[in-house]
Amino acid sequence: MSRPTDTRARTREVAQRWLGQGRLPHEVTVDLVRQEIQQGSRTTINEELRAWRLEVSRSATLALPALPPPLGQAIQALWVQAVDLSRSELTQEREALAMSREQWQAERDQARQACTVMEQRLRDLEAGQQTLQESLQSAETALAHERQERRLLQDRLEASRQQRDAERQQALDREQALTQFHQQALEAHQRQTQTRESEYRAEVSRITERMESVQRHVLRQLEESREQLRKWEQQTQLLQRELDKTRQQAEDMRREASAQQAQAQARHEVQQNSLKEEARRWRDQAVAAEAARQAAQEALAGHLNKPASAPPNPARQTCRDRAARRRERLSRPAQAHGETA
């Protein structure tokens, strides 16, 4: 890639060479310079050309003969304005020329496209014309064939018309015969219908009378059924009241039985408690009797161990007798209590 300094230097060289060849400074354009040097940007080339034109204008001003300073400055300013004006006019002309060139190229492209389209349409039209000619020939052939078929169809149509007229006449004759037959059949049917209608009316009258009698019988049965239903309802109400009364009595009996059962349970508990108390008392007495028996046995054993020469003690014998009687007396209530339990 070229450097900006190279681009500026080459721009000045090309511009100076063209100036030496007789071109004016404003004729040296950016496009010409860039086309010549083939490098750099248009902005860099344009800036360098402006600086070069300014230097050229200054050097041209310095080359003029010696003039008064005010006149020289005025001429130099006029020259700069003339150069700028010519440059702007040249730029406008160049832009207009570029626009015209682009427009001409666009019109040329459009014309080419239109020409291509027209050629394609022409080829399509030629192909369509060929197809139409072939279709025309086919249509002419088909038309001749259809004309021939039309003549055949006309002949068939004429024959069909004649046959239709003959069949129409036959149909008219048949229709007249059928109409006459239908009229006769209708009259016979009307007579038969009148006879059947009379019989039907008589039958309807008989059926109506029977239905009325059946209806009266059904109404009587319905009334009897309603009366029987009312009686059954009354009996049902009586039975319901008796059933309610029986239920109330059963409930009273159940409550009474419950009360009696509670009383019996209470009495049973009282009896059990009294029996337990009596048994406890008898048990205490039995314990006391057992203690007396043991004492008597000990006394008896002591008496038996004494010498035989000793006479029996009446007091001790009496004590033993009393102990025996007491044991017997105590054993009797215990046996009676066991049997009762």
pLDDT of 1 reads 45
Question: How many Cβ atoms from other residues are within 10 Å of residue 45's Cβ?
Answer: 24
pTM of the model: 0.23
CA distances to 191, 192, 199, 210, 216 from 203, in Å: 19, 16, 6, 11, 20
Neighbours of 25 (CB within 10 A): 19
340 Cβ contact list (under 8 Å, min separation 6): 275
Both structure tokens of 286: 């039995």
Burial 137-149 (b: 16+ CB within 10 A, else e): eeeeeeeeeeeee
Identify whether the C-beta of residue 278 lies closer than 8 Å to the C-beta of residue 337.
yes
Predicted pLDDT at 57: 76
Q: Where are the alpha helices (DSSP H) in 21-68?
A: 30-37, 42-63
Q: Express each pLDDT in 107-116 by its tens digit.
A: 888 888 888 8
Cα–Cα nearest to 33, from 51, 13, 53: 13
Which amino acid is located at 146 in the chain? E
| SS3 state of residue 286 | helix
- Residue linked to tokens 């310095």: 62
Exposure string over 56-77, b if 16+ CB within 10 A, otherwise e:
bbeeebeeeeeeeeeeeeeebe
Length of the chain, please? 341
- The series of mean pLDDT values per 10 residues for the chain, 341 residues long, is 70 86 80 86 88 78 58 73 76 82 84 86 87 86 87 86 87 84 82 81 80 80 82 83 83 84 83 81 83 83 62 56 71 54 46
